[in-house]
Amino acid sequence: MWPNQKSPKFPLDNASPPAYTFSMAQDNLHREKDRLQNIPKHLFIGGLVAAGFDTAGKYLLTVSVSGRGVFSTVTWERVARDTSVIYPDAGMIAGIGPLEGVSVSVQEIDYDTGVLRFTSPDGKLNFMYEEGTLEICETTT
């Protein structure tokens, strides 16, 4: 640039960002969160024969032909696993991990259809298991 030449004004020089940027980002974040919450989640559990919740609904206990697992109902991550094969007796099974020492009520699979359906204790989630996949969906109103 020559000494007497003025700097050209670009549209963004000395301009503050639009006031709606943060608000728009928040709106987009909320829309994405809502969208993700409505997408069914899946847990892949081969040979599932029964499942049930602790009384507080914080954990899902699964029983399969390969043992038992416990999943957090907040993150859906497995928090405990025991490969000892044990099956429910009269709709109850011993808990593991955070449910150690607790007898958990479980719903057993329908052996004629191979399908297991149940609802979370608060009634907000529906579960459907078939052919190795446990699908978790929000209850529709």
Q: What is the pLDDT of residues 16-58, one digit of tens each?
A: 555 556 666 677 666 656 545 555 589 999 999 999 999 999 9
Taking the C-alpha atoms of 64, 65, 67 and 71 in order, what is their torsion angle to the nearest 10 degrees? Answer: -20
- For the chain, percent of residues with pLDDT exceeding 70: 72
- For the chain, percent of residues with pLDDT exceeding 90: 62
> What is the 3-state secondary structure of 27-61?
HHHHHHHHHHHHCCEEEECCCEEEEEECCCCCEEE
The token pair that represents 35 in the structure block: 């969208």
Beta carbons of 104 and 61 less than 8 angstroms apart: yes
pLDDT of residue 96: 98
> pLDDT tens for residues 51-80?
999 999 999 999 999 999 999 998 889 999
Q: CA 135 to CA 125: how far, in whole Å?
A: 10
Q: CA 5 to CA 19: how far, in whole Å?
A: 33
pLDDT of residue 75: 87
Taking the C-alpha atoms of 83, 69, 107 and 123 in order, what is their torsion angle to the nearest 10 degrees? Answer: 180
The token pair that represents 89 in the structure block: 């007796």
* Domain boundaries, given as residue ranges, for the chain: 41-138
The yes-or-no verdict on residue 91 having pLDDT over 70 is yes
The yes-or-no verdict on residue 93 having pLDDT over 80 is yes
Beta carbons of 132 and 77 less than 8 angstroms apart: no
Q: What are phi and psi of 20, to 5 degrees?
A: -85, -5
pLDDT of residue 131: 92
